[in-house]
Amino acid sequence: MTFKLPKLNFAFNALEPHIDALTMEIHYSKHHAGYTNKLNSAIEGTDLKNKNIEEILSAGILSAAVRNNGGGFYNHCLFWDILTPNASMPSNTFLKVIERDFSSFDSFKEVFTNAASSRFGSGWAWLCAKSGKLEVCSTPNQDNPLMKGVGCDGTPILCLDVWEHAYYLNYQNRRPDYINAFFNVIDWSKVEHKFNNA
């Protein structure tokens, strides 16, 4: 298939002040578009052309071009999907799942924040569903839990981009401030929906 940049559910400036409009615009229309176009070039004329993105990423040994651009395509699709200008807390039902697996929402927040802040260099922090349970992990570069051997598995249901391109214009070196702001723009109903479908 030919992969397409998904439509954003919000305007570039809708997540301000947590994520600024210029960062959103460049991130979506340059970075994500770039991964999408390069993924399409990388799979052209190969067997991967018949597969969906989940099948491609979980296929095993991937070329650097497919791994980096396929990961970049998938990761940003999930990231945009779980962001919203109308954030709220998790539902009572999902809060119970979070409390069961992390003891409290605050301690989930702490575990996720640690994963995102301790990722050296560029990468992602993840919340995954694995056998009905929640797990947090992180990956380097554009790797993700669908890939084999990344030390992180399960079905991704929430993610945070900690590449500098995701925050540097507004936060410069202050990655912890960006991570903290992220909690103000999470669409928990989407995350819960993805958990239930995992």
Cβ count within 10 A of residue 50: 10
Structure token digits, residue 124: 């992602």
Interaction site with Mn ion (CB under 5 A) = 161, 163, 166
The nearer residue to Mn ion, 74 or 108, going by C-beta atoms, is: 74
- Smallest gap, in angstroms, from Cβ of residue 122 to Mn ion? 8
Give min distance, CB of 70 to Mn ion, in A. Answer: 14
Rounded least distance, CB 184 to Mn ion, Å: 19
Residue nearer to Mn ion on the CB measure, 121 or 132: 121
Choice between 143 and 161, CB closer to Mn ion: 161
CA torsion 109→110→111→112, rounded to 10°? 50
Residues 6 or more apart whose CB falls under 8 angstroms from that of 131 comprise: none
For 190, residues 6+ apart whose C-beta sits below 8 A from its C-beta are 81, 82, 84
Give the residue with the Cβ less far from Mn ion, 74 or 163. 163
**Min CB(74)–Mn ion separation in Å:** 12
66 contact partners, CB below 8 Å, separation of at least 6: 39, 42, 43, 48, 56
